Each structure stands twice: as C-alpha cells, then as structure tokens.
Amino acid sequence: MGRSDLAQKAVNLAEKRLCEDRWPEYYDTRNGKFIGKQSRLMQTWTIAGFLTSKMLLKNPEKASLLFWEEDFEILQNCVCMLNKTGRRKCSRFAARSKILV
C-alpha cells in the first residue's frame, strides 16, 4: 500500500519480539504487549507469516502470488451447498453477493 517504511518498522519489531517470546500464536491486549493466555508457542504459521513479510519487503512484486481472480463457478457451487434450502436454484448473482472466508 506504499507504506514500506511502516512495514519495515513492524517487521523489525516483530523480529525482536517473536524470537524472544518463542514464536507465540498471538498476543493479547490492544497494544499486543502480552502473549495470549491460550497462545501456543513455536507456531509454524507465526514463523511463516514473519518470513513472508520479510520476503515481501525485499520483493513487493511477489505480493501478486497471494491473491488471484475468483472462480465464480466454484464460488456458486460453494454458496449453493451452504444454502439451507436446497429447493431454491442458486444464481451467479447470489454467489457473488456472499462472502466466503
């Protein structure tokens, strides 16, 4: 988003804290000062997210690998399967109006 200085600052802070705190799953409080009460340590996704952030700072053009155009046919099928009433025919409009996470 054009704020590489801010991203670099965040990565530098994370580099100090994450290693020292043994790569926790998440931090609690608004400022993220405490390791979460139920947070697991040595989490692979924490390390992977950190390494990805460092890679993206060095090569911002690689961010395009993190997203792609939606396949509306697959999206439509997912929305139709999640729909509680199977009698209603699903449309592309209905599929586009749903947000799947």
Residue 2's pLDDT is what? 76
Residue 55's pLDDT is what? 93
The 10 Å Cβ neighbour count of residue 79 is 20
Residue 94's pLDDT is what? 54
Residue 65's pLDDT is what? 81
Distance CA 68, CA 55 (A): 19
Residue 54's pLDDT is what? 94
pLDDT along the chain (101 residues), means of 10: 87 90 86 82 90 92 79 75 59 54 50
Opening angle at CA 47, ends 67 and 34, nearest 5: 110
Task: Using a cut of 0.85, tell me whether the model's pTM lies above it.
Answer: no
Neighbouring-strand partners of residue 35: 27
Q: What is the DSSP string of 68-87?
A: ----HHHHHHHHHHH-S-TT
Q: Where are the beta strands (DSSP E) in 1-101?
A: 27-28, 34-35
Domain boundaries, the chain: 4-66, 69-101
